[in-house]
Amino acid sequence: MTNKIEKNYVTVKLSGRIDSENSAETEKKIFAQLADSGSSSVILDAEHLEYISSAGLRVILRVKKIYSDLRIINVRTEVYEILEMTGFTEMMRVEKAYRVVVSVEGCEVIGEGFNGKVYRIDRDNVVKTYKNADAIAEIQHEREVARLALILGVPTAISYDVVRVGDSYGSVFELLNARSFSNILAKEPERMDFCVAEYVKMLKKIHSITVPEGKLPSIKEKTLKALERMKDRLPDGLGDKLLRMANAVPESNHMVHGDFHTKNIVIADNEVLLIDMDTLSVGHPIFEFLRMYNSYIGYAEYDPEIVLKFQGYDINVAGEFWHKTLEAYFDTKDENKIREIEEKIRCLSYAYLIDWRTRHPGNNSEVENATISLWQNRLTELLRRVDSLEFDINCGEKSDSDELDIEASVNNLQKVIGFINSRLEKVDCSAKKLMQIDLAVEEIFVNIANYAYAPDVGKVSVSVKLSGEPSAAEITFADRGVPYNPLEKEDPDITLSADERQIGGVGIFMTKKIMDEIFYEHRDGQNILILRKRL
């Protein structure tokens, strides 16, 4: 048993077994070393500890009572299970030991964000490495927000293991044959439209999700801090003007990813997934778009090679992808509208870039100064004519109405879910019930889209009515398609084997199980289906 002092902590190494036979002697040695160190903060390094009994746990408790700032590190799995079972992991910081990934050298980079890179280490698995050498807290945060995102309906991967990678750590994910959209665009540019469609579909999915209060940080707050830091670099009070406009952007508890670019969208086993979730936040989409613009254009405006090095495709592909994304997201080909929206986004983008480069200077000061000067000039020009950063995120739909008339197309599913979620945020709707409602809405809307007017396309009206005491939501779908009562469909026999079960009917069955009440009637030439859920 040896000790060393590091960063105001004294580290005591434990080894072998600590049980009823040697616990008293072990305790005596620990306290002797701590008394000699003069430190009040203690790390117990359990890398070589093979076993601990209840007697050994009592030793740790006595150390904890005297040295409240106590950490246990490098704990083997079997010892960690004992500490977790007995509640020690709740009383103090306990860090597991992690196996070593020898090297990621030569491995394909399939994703990259500000805090790290994602490498493919074999056919089935990838590892996300972190730039921060002490990344355990980041890993724990990312696991938590990834689980939250999955519960709320975002298709993502959750780490199943934590490993050592060189001097830092990595999270291991199972992503079968994963390919990033960056890889696809670089090697198969003819699939541009496919990538845009799936990319925007994922983006709208995220932005439609209402996050329970306090679960994720505000991306607006982070952006305002950046604007405050750089505002004095602009002439004629334009920095203050930008800060006022940014403050006026409405608060929102809708989800944003915070680093949404093509390296963080992957296809794994034919499923499109969002990865690199550590930047997940809440806020208005403009704060998402500013970072997107920088990923495709902003960072590379002075040196176009930057986007090629980062994304794997050239600046022309990046610009085309960005423009098509705006067209698809805002559902318009109107170049004037696109230009107006983009100018608002660029105001924040350049400000964010100036602050970022100022705080992260490179090795070539001449290039750095020229780059910052370019951004400052473009931002100054924009701020002389842009007077508001607000834009219509509902693509022309009235956001204050409780009724939505929309084409019954599967492509509009996320708009419908976003509309309903925006109404439910007015009441205390739990994440679980929100997910259940979204699932039922998807089943009903897709059913209408596929069958009500087939082979033609018609309109559907969706309305939301909220009531209190007890709090409840009533969602009504009305269409003028073929008369059809889904409640008359016989429930599937879920006791049958897969071979015996008939295909179909599960969606309506599931909807009936999820919702508290469902009503149908055909009135005035309309199919009217009402879903009710107690909140």
Residue 503 pLDDT more than 50?
Answer: no
Residues 6+ apart with CB under 8 A from 504: 492
Distance CA 446, CA 448 (A): 5
The residue assigned the tokens 């704060």 is 287
- The reported pTM is 0.62
**What pLDDT sits at residue 398?**
39
User: What residues are paired with 96 via a beta bridge?
Assistant: 75
**What pLDDT sits at residue 423?**
84
Closest CA relative to residue 451, chosen from 485, 416, 492, 419: 485
Range with the poorest average pLDDT among 112-116, 169-173, 356-360, 362-366:
112-116
Three-state DSSP state, 128: strand
Name residue 79's amino acid.
Answer: V
List of domains in the chain = 3-97 (3.30.750.24), 101-174 (3.30.200.20), 189-383 (3.90.1200.10), 403-534 (3.30.565.10)
- Average pLDDT over every residue of 158-170: 78
Residues 14 and 49 sit within 8 Å (Cβ to Cβ):
yes
**What pLDDT sits at residue 146?**
85
Distance CA 463, CA 475 (A): 6
Residue 410 per-residue DSSP state? G
DSSP secondary structure of 392-438: -TTTTS-TT-SEEEEE--GGGHHHHHHHHHHHHTTS---HHHHHHHH
Three-state DSSP state, 381: helix
Structure tokens at 25: 């002697």
Residue 510 pLDDT more than 60?
Answer: yes
Residue 363 pLDDT more than 60?
Answer: yes
> What's the pLDDT tens digit per position in 54-63?
778 888 888 8
**Residues of the chain with pLDDT > 90: what percent?**
44
**Residues of the chain with pLDDT > 70: what percent?**
91
Residue 384 per-residue DSSP state? T
User: What residues are paired with 71 via a beta bridge?
Assistant: 43, 93
More reliable by pLDDT, 110 or 217: 217
Residue 184 pLDDT more than 90?
Answer: yes
Average pLDDT, the chain: 86
Residue 501 pLDDT more than 70?
Answer: no
More reliable by pLDDT, 279 or 213: 279
Residue 102 pLDDT more than 60?
Answer: no
Q: Report CA 38 to chain centroid distance, whole Å.
A: 44
More reliable by pLDDT, 176 or 407: 407
**What pLDDT sits at residue 19?**
81
Residues 331 and 418 sit within 8 Å (Cβ to Cβ):
no
Q: How confident is the model at residue 139 (pLDDT cuts 50, 70, 90)?
A: confident
Residues 6+ apart with CB under 8 A from 449: 408, 409, 410, 412, 413, 460
Q: How confident is the model at residue 5 (pLDDT cuts 50, 70, 90)?
A: very low
More reliable by pLDDT, 309 or 81: 309
User: What residues are paired with 116 via a beta bridge?
Assistant: 130
Burial of 270 (0-12, 13-18, 19+ CB in 10 A): exposed
Range with the poorest average pLDDT among 7-11, 46-50, 493-497:
493-497
Residue 392 per-residue DSSP state? -
Residues 6+ apart with CB under 8 A from 121: 101, 104, 107, 127, 172
Residues 156 and 273 sit within 8 Å (Cβ to Cβ):
yes
Closest CA relative to residue 286, chosen from 389, 178, 136: 389
**What pLDDT sits at residue 50?**
85
Q: Report CA 398 to chain centroid distance, whole Å.
A: 27
Closest CA relative to residue 290, chosen from 354, 244, 232, 229: 354
Residues 6+ apart with CB under 8 A from 143: 158, 159, 171
**What pLDDT sits at residue 231?**
94
The residue assigned the tokens 């050298």 is 105
Residues 383 and 246 sit within 8 Å (Cβ to Cβ):
no
Residue 497 pLDDT more than 50?
Answer: no
**What pLDDT sits at residue 514?**
84
**What pLDDT sits at residue 178?**
81
Reported as half-sphere exposure (CB side, CA atoms, 13 A), residue 166 has a value of: 12
Residue 48 per-residue DSSP state? E
More reliable by pLDDT, 364 or 346: 346
More reliable by pLDDT, 162 or 129: 129
Strand order in the sheet with 472-479: 403-407, 459-467, 472-479, 526-534, 517-523
Closest CA relative to residue 185, chosen from 294, 318, 305, 295: 318
**What pLDDT sits at residue 296?**
97
**What pLDDT sits at residue 113?**
67
Q: What share of the chain is helix, strand, coil (3-state, %, to 5)?
A: 45, 25, 30
> What's the pLDDT tens digit per position in 276-318?
888 999 999 999 999 999 999 999 999 999 999 999 999 999 9
CA dihedral 404, 438, 323, 356 (to 10 degrees): 120
Distance CA 137, CA 294 (A): 27
More reliable by pLDDT, 513 or 372: 372
Report residue 84: phi and psi, to 5°.
-70, -45
> What's the pLDDT tens digit per position in 344-362?
999 999 999 999 999 988 7
Task: Indicate the pairing of strand 526-534 with strand 517-523.
Answer: antiparallel
